[in-house]
Structure 1
Amino acid sequence: RDLQDLLLSGGEPLYVRVAREASSWNRADNLGLVAGATDLQSLAAVRAAAPDLWILAPGVGAQGGDLEKAVRAGIRADGLGLLITTSRSLARAEDPGREARELRLAINAVRASPRQAAPGELQGPNANLADGLLEAGCVRFGTFTLKSGAASPIYLDLRRLVSHPGLLARAAAAYLPLLATLSYDRLAPLPYAALPIGAVISQQTSRPMVYPRKEVKEHGTKAEVEGEFLEGETVVVVDDVATTGGSKFEAIERLQGVGLRVLDVVVLIDRQSGASEALARAGFRLHSVFRLTDLIIHWERSGSISSRQADEVRRFLAGAEPAPR
C-alpha cells in the first residue's frame, strides 16, 4: 500500500491512475485489474476509473470481505465485470458444490437489486475527502461568530488545507469535474483560502491563473488583479466556501473592472446561505463540490458527528433558534 496510495502531482492516488491507464490500454478486451474486496473505497474508486474492465476481487469470506458490499462497489453498469474469489470458503466447506451454488445465488440476488444512492449521499473520492476535511480540523463544531455577527454551530476553515499537502491536492482535484464542464481562459482564485487551491488546480489542469487582490497596492504597479491576462478573456472564480456571496461580488467587480469576463463561480462547499440565489439574480452561476447539508448527512451517518450536532446545523441553516443545552 505504500506505493499504491502515493498521491501524484495532480492529487490522484497512484492506483487510480494505473486503473485509468489500464482502461485506455484495453483495446483488445484482454486486460483486467485486481482490487481487494476488503477495501471497498478503493474497489469503488478502481471501478470508477475503469468502468469497462473486469476486476478480480479477492477477500470475500475468510479474509473478512462483505459479499454484498463488494458486488455493489465493483460491479459494472451491465451487471457483469466482477470476479469474486472465495477459495478458502469453498475448500473448507462440507459440501463445496452447495456452497458454490449458494454464493452464486447471493451474488445474483445483489445484481438483481442494484442499490440506488440516497439523495445527497457521498460516494467514492468525495466521501473520502469529506472525512479528510473533518479529520484535519477544516470543519469544527461549537459556537462561532461569523463575519455577519451571527452565531453559528459550525465553522469551515479551509485555510488549514495548506498544512495538509495530500488533502489539499485531493480537494483541488474535486473541482476538476465541475471545471471540465465550463468554458474559460483562466482561473481566478480568491485570497486567501482559495489561492493555494487555485495554484494546485492550475498545475493539475495547466490553466493559467490570475487573482484579484483584497487590498489594492498603493505602490509599484498598483494592480487590482495580479497575473497576466488579456482584456475580454473569461475567468472562472474559484473559492473555498460560498455563504451569502458578498465576497464573490467584490472580487467579480475587480475582475470586470480590468476587462475580464465572469460567468461562473466554483467552490468546494456551498453553505446554502443565499449565495447561489444572489449570484443567479446577478447573472452568475454557482457550482459546488459539496452542499453543507449533504456533508452533515454524511458525517452523521458515519458517526463522525452526533445527531445533536447535525440538528443544530440544520436549524441554523433553516434560520431557527438553537435548541437549549
Structure 2
Amino acid sequence: PEIPVLLDAKRGDIGSTAAAYADSCLGDLGADAVTLSPLMGWDSVKPFVTEKYAGKAAFLLCKTSNPGSNDLLALDLASNQTVFEKIAQLAGKWSSEHGASLGLVVGATDQKALARVRKAAGSGVWILAPGVGAQGGDLAAAAAAGLNAQGTGLLIPVSRGISRADDPGQAAKELKEMIESSRQSVIAETAEPAATIEDYQTEFLEFSLGQGVLKFGSFVLKSGRTSPYFFNAGLFANGAALFKLGRSYASAIMSSELVDEGKPKFDIIFGPAYKGISLGAVVCASLYGDFGVDVGFAYNRKEAKDHGEGGKLVGASMEGKRILIVDDVITAGTAIRESHAMLSAIGAEAVGVAIALDRAEKRSLDDPISAVQAVARDLSIPVVSIVNLPQLQTFLEQSGRYDEMVLESVSQYRAQYGV
C-alpha cells in the first residue's frame, strides 16, 4: 500500500507566500501532509488544505517538545486558556467550519499539555506527538493523555529508537505492539456503558431512516459544525409515518417523569406553529389510542385572525391548566422559550417539553451544556425526547446493518461535541 508522506516543514507566512509554499511542499514534492506554524492565523493555513489541496492535511505546531516552547505557547490568555490550548481549539473549529484536515503537533514529553490539548481540540483532531524514545517521552503516559476514547487520534513518530537499534525491524515490531497495548488500555479505561434503547426507540429510528427523515453522511449545520447525521422531521409526510411518529412520542411521554402511575401530569398538549401543530395533534390522538389518556389540544397561529373566533390561540382553553409543549427538536430553544412566555402570560403553566430527537451536544466548545439542558435549566421543566444521540450510537452498534465508518463518525462526533 502507498505510504503517506508527512513533510516536517514548519512553514507559516502570509497568504500568497503560503500558497507558494503549498505548491512546493504538496505539489512539487508530492507530500500528503505538512507541519505548519499557525500563529499568523487561518489565511496562512488555508492554502495547504483547501481548493486544489483539499485532500491534503496539515499539522499545526501547538505545544512542541523543546523547552523554549514555554516562552510563548504556554502563556496565559485573557480567555483563561494558554496559547497552545487556543491553537488546539482553533484546529477543531477550522476543521469543522472549512472541512479541512487539520492536526496538531504536541510533544509526548509533556503529558499534561497533551491531555489539555486533547480536551481543547476534541476527539476528532489527530495529534502528532514526537518525543517518545530518545527524547525521554513515556509511550504509555503519552497514549493515555493523547488518545481519544476510540483509541485513535494519535500519531507517535519514533526515529532514532528504531534507526539506531541493533535490529531496526524488531525494534519497530516491538514499538507497534507497545502502541497497540497502550491503545487497548485506553479503550478499556474510557469505555462508557452503552445507552439503553427501548423497542419503540429502535422502531422510531428504523422508520425515520426508511422515510429519509434521518440520514447519515456529511452535513454542515447552522452552527458551522459538520455532522455525520441529519434529522428533518418535515419529511414525516404520509399517514403511516405520522401514525408511527405519534405512537413514538406517546411511548416516550408515558415512560417519562411527565406521568405518575399512568396518569399524566399535564392537562393539554400545545403545538407551537408551525411544525408543532401537526405533531401535537398526532401525539394527542396516540396518547388516547394507545394508552387511553385523554387530554386537550391547542396551538397558536403566527398571525392573529381578525374574523371568526379571532386571536392567535386555537383549541382547548389553557388558562389555569398544565401544559406539555410538543415540538420536533430544540436547536437554540427560542421557540420553546417564546411558547413558555406566551403560556405564562395567559395564566397557563408549562410543565414539560417533548421532542423527537435530542442531539445532546454542547452549544459551543466554550459552553459545556446542550440547548436541551439549557431549556430544562432556565425554565425549570423536564424535556423528554423519543431518542438522543447516545441512543443513536447504541442503535448503530447493535444494528450491524450500517458501515463501520458511520458508527465511527457518529462516535467521534459525540466524543467531540456530546454532553
With structure 1 as the length reference, what TM-score do the two structures score? Answer: 0.55
Note if contact 2:243-2:282 (Cα within 8 Å) is conserved in structure 1.
no
User: Matches of 1:216 and 1:141 in 2, distance apart?
Assistant: 36
- 1:4-57 CA-to-partner distances (Å, cap 9, x unmatched) read xxxxxxxxxxxxxxxxxxxxxxxxxxxxxxxxxxxxxxxxxxxxxxxxxxxxxx
Q: For 2:280, which of 183, 198, 223 is the aligned residue?
A: 198
Task: Determine if contact 2:268/2:318 at 8 Å carries over to the other structure.
Answer: no
Match of 2:319 in 1: 231
Matched, 1:170 2:247: yes
2:205 counterpart (115, 130, 148): 130
**After superposition, where does 1:1-325 map in structure 2 within 5 Å?**
119-163=194-238, 164-177=241-254, 178=256, 179-181=258-260, 182-203=264-285, 204=288, 205-213=293-301, 215-217=302-304, 219-220=306-307, 223-273=311-361, 274-282=370-378, 283-319=380-416
Flag the 1:230–1:170 CA change in 2: closer, same or farther, 3 A.
closer
Q: Which amino acid aligns with 1:157?
A: N
Letter of the 1:184 counterpart: F
Residue 315 of structure 1 aligns with an amino acid whose one-letter code is Q
Residues 305 and 312 in structure 2, CA contact (< 8 A), matched pair in contact too: no
CA shift, 1:138, in A, is 1.3
Structure 1 residues 120 and 318 mapped into 2: Cα distance closer, same or farther (>3 Å)? closer
Q: Secondary structure at the match of 2:236?
A: helix
Report the secondary structure of 2:329's partner residue: strand
Supply the distance in 1 between the matched residues of 2:305 and 2:411 (Cα, whole angstroms): 44
Q: Is the 8 A contact 1:224 1:254 kept in 2?
A: no
AA aligned to 2:375 is: L
Q: Deviations over 1:58-107 (max 9, x none)?
A: xxxxxxxxxxxxxxxxxxxxxxxxxxxxxxxxxxxxxxxxxxxxxxxxxx
Aligned residues: 202
| Structure 1 residue 176, shift from structure 2 partner | 4.1
Cα distance between partner residues in 2 of 1:285 and 1:256: 17
| d(CA) in 2 for partners of 1:244, 1:300 | 29
* Structure 1 position 261, deviation (Å): 0.9
- Contact 1:198 1:209 (8 Å CA) reproduced: yes
> Matches of 2:232 and 2:210 in 1, distance apart?
12
Aligned position for 2:8: none
Q: Deviations over 1:227-279 (max 9, x none)?
A: 23142211011122233423211222222222221121112221113133212
Shift of residue 222, structure 1, vs aligned partner: 6.0
Distance 1:228 1:256, change over 3 A: same
Larger Rg: 2
RMSD between aligned residues: 2.6
Q: What are the superposed Cα offsets for residues 172-201 of structure 1, whole Å, 9 maximum, x if unpaired?
A: 432341353441110012333333232122
Query: Which residue of structure 2 aligns with residue 89 of structure 1?
Result: none
**Counterpart for residue 61 of structure 2:** none
Describe the SS at the equivalent of 1:152: strand
Separation in structure 2 between the aligned mates of residue 267 and residue 160 of structure 1, nearest angstrom: 16
Is the 1:241–1:268 contact (alpha carbons within 8 Å) kept by the matching residues of 2?
yes
Q: Is the 8 A contact 2:319 2:346 kept in 1?
A: yes
Change (3 A) 1:191 1:147: farther
Distance in 2 (CA, whole Å) between partners of 1:317 and 1:243 is: 16
Structure 1: 5+ residue stretches without partners: 1-117, 321-325
Which gives a bigger RCO, structure 1 or 2 (Cα 8 Å, sep 6+)? 1
Q: TM-score, normalised by structure 2?
A: 0.43
Q: Distance in 1 between matches of 2:328 and 2:244?
A: 14
| Seq. identity, % | 24
